[in-house]
Chains A and B, each alone.
Chain A
Amino acid sequence: MATLHVLNKAAAWTDCEPLLGPGDAVLLIEDGVYAARQPLSVDVPIRALDPDVQARGLSGQLAPNVELASFDDFVALVVSHDRVVTWSQ
């Protein structure tokens, strides 16, 4: 029963992080990608939407445990999880 957590604001990480569970994944989009500049010490996969990273000049500046995601990856992540929680504050 895995949940995909989508963040579109960096500050939302503080609300999202404590609710991460086994099998979950995190996808940073829009301004959420700024959260990936610092190391995010959690043991679930963390992805950052590549176009949003490029737009903001963050390419190559993300924490080592953050993997880029394309829009196709975004769709695959949504489909492969039971539900999506969007954190926007």
Chain B
Amino acid sequence: MAKRILFLLNRAPYGSSYALEALESVLVAALFDQQVSVLFKGAGLHQLLKGQDGAAVGQRTVGKMLGALPEYGVAGLFVCAPSAARLGLTEGDFCLPVTLLDHDGQRRIINEQDIVTG
């Protein structure tokens, strides 16, 4: 029975391996046909910026990997609206279509999950 899993991603890419490792977990969960959603919060929004080039620092490009999520069946791609406002980012800055959520919306999504992980 598929589990509803929400990945709460709040780390910037490249400065540490957190973002890449979490993203790999998202892809694995999706590969195993779990009901996977992702909520980007705080510094995690930087993973969504266009024009990333991980090769410049000898790393894989997180933004490009994110582009694969829809093909893996990850339907729920959410962004914390207050974080976006605080960071001065809008949907036009992001490398894939996302749904902006206020705190109430995020609470609703969290309460629908079986598992919330990072």
Q: Which residues of A contact B (CB under 8 A)?
A: 1, 3, 15, 18-21, 83-86, 88-89
- Answer whether residue B115 sits at the interface, using C-beta atoms and an 8 A cutoff: yes
Pairwise interchain contact A83-B42, C-beta atoms closer than 8 A: no
Q: Given A19-B110, A21-B111, are A85 and B8 neighbors across the interface (CB < 8 Å)?
A: yes
Partner of A21, one of B42, B43, B82, B107: B107
Q: Are A15 and B115 in contact (CB under 8 A)?
A: no
Q: How far is the CA of A20 from the CA of B103 in the complex (A)?
A: 9
CB distance from B7 to the nearest CB of A (A): 11
Say if the beta carbon of B46 comes within 8 Å of chain A: no
Name the prevailing secondary structure of the A interface residues: mixed
B interface residues, Cβ below 8 angstroms from A: 8, 10-11, 41-43, 82, 103, 106-107, 110-111, 113-118
For B114, the chain A residues whose CB sits under 8 A away are: 83
For A21, the chain B residues whose CB sits under 8 A away are 107, 111
Known: A83-B116, A88-B118. A19 touches B42 (CB 8 A): no
Instruction: Enumerate chain B residues within 8 angstroms of A88, measured Cβ to Cβ.
Output: 118
CB distance from A28 to the nearest CB of B (A): 17
Contact B107 A83 (CB under 8 A): no
A-B contacts, 10 listed (Cβ < 8 Å)? A1-B111, A18-B103, A19-B106, A19-B107, A83-B113, A83-B114, A83-B116, A86-B118, A88-B118, A89-B43
Rounded to whole angstroms, the CA-CA distance of A39 and B117 in the bound complex is: 28
Q: Shortest beta-carbon distance, A43 to chain B, in Å?
A: 15
- Within the complex, the shortest CB–CB distance from B118 to chain A, in Å, comes to 6
Contact: A19 with B103, CB < 8 Å? yes
Measured CB to CB, the closest approach of chain A to B86, in angstroms, equals: 10
